[in-house]
């Protein structure tokens, strides 16, 4: 891992520790003070389960941080930055990392951003269309299953009506 990424992770952990401190517990408890006054046993229960809440919050935030860092390639970018800084400190010229490319001839940064945005939107559209297609197929299957169940219910209803008619006829004959 890049040194800066390790430091970033340490800062995130320090923020988590600070934000889930005892004062945070009391702040959360004060939100429900009316309920705790009306039902004192809930305050004791809250005190018992708060460590679990705190742990769940920490692990959820940590997982989300790691996911975002991975999706955005933060570690790789920080490693590339460290290489560039080290090369600059040594007086050498480092090659640009593969994620940094010169602008295409005749394009402004805005043009590049528009093109990237367009490509991202195209990929998202394709993803949404694929999802829509899958949902439509699921809907067709569910509709067919519902129609089959309706047919079975109609047949069962007809069969019950026939039996009821036979029972009524038998009852009238008696």
Q: Could you tell me the pLDDT band of residue 102, with boundaries at 50, 70 and 90?
A: confident
Please determine, for residue 121, whether its predicted confidence score (pLDDT) is greater than 80: yes
Retrieve residue 169's tokens. 């006829």
Residue 98 banded pLDDT, cuts 50, 70, 90 = low
The yes-or-no verdict on residue 111 having pLDDT over 80 is: yes
Statement: residue 93 has pLDDT above 60: no
Distance CA 46, CA 20 (A): 15
User: Considering the chain, what is the average pLDDT of its residues?
Assistant: 87
Any idea which residue has 């800084």 for tokens? 85
Report the distance separating Cα 48 and Cα 39, nearest Å.
15
- The pLDDT value recorded for residue 169 is 92
HSE value, Cβ hemisphere, 13 Å, CA-based, for 67: 6
Q: What is the reported pTM?
A: 0.46
User: DSSP character for 21?
Assistant: S
The pLDDT of residue 131 is 93
Tokens of 168: 């009524």
Mean pLDDT of 56-79: 91
Residue 95 has pLDDT above 80, yes or no: no
| Angle made by CA atoms 150, 153, 158, in degrees to the nearest 5 | 125
Residue 50 burial (10 A CB sphere; 0-12, 13-18, 19+): middle
């Amino acid at each position: 891992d890049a040194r800066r990424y390790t430091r970033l992770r340490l800062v995130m952990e320090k923020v988590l520790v600070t934000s889930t401190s005892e004062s945070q517990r009391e702040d959360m408890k004060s939100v429900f003070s009316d309920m705790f006054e009306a039902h004192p046993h809930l305050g004791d229960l809250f005190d018992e389960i708060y460590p679990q809440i705190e742990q769940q919050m920490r692990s959820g935030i940590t997982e989300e941080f790691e996911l975002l860092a991975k999706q955005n390639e933060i570690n790789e970018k920080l490693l590339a930055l460290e290489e560039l800084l080290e090369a600059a400190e040594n007086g050498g010229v480092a090659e640009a990392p593969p994620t940094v490319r010169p602008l295409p001839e005749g394009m402004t940064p805005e043009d590049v951003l528009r093109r990237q945005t367009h490509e991202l939107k195209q990929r998202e559209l394709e993803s949404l269309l694929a999802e829509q297609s899958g949902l439509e197929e699921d809907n067709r299957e569910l509709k067919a299953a519902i129609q089959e169940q309706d047919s079975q219910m109609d047949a069962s209803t007809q069969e019950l009506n026939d039996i009821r008619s036979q029972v009524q006829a038998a009852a009238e004959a008696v």
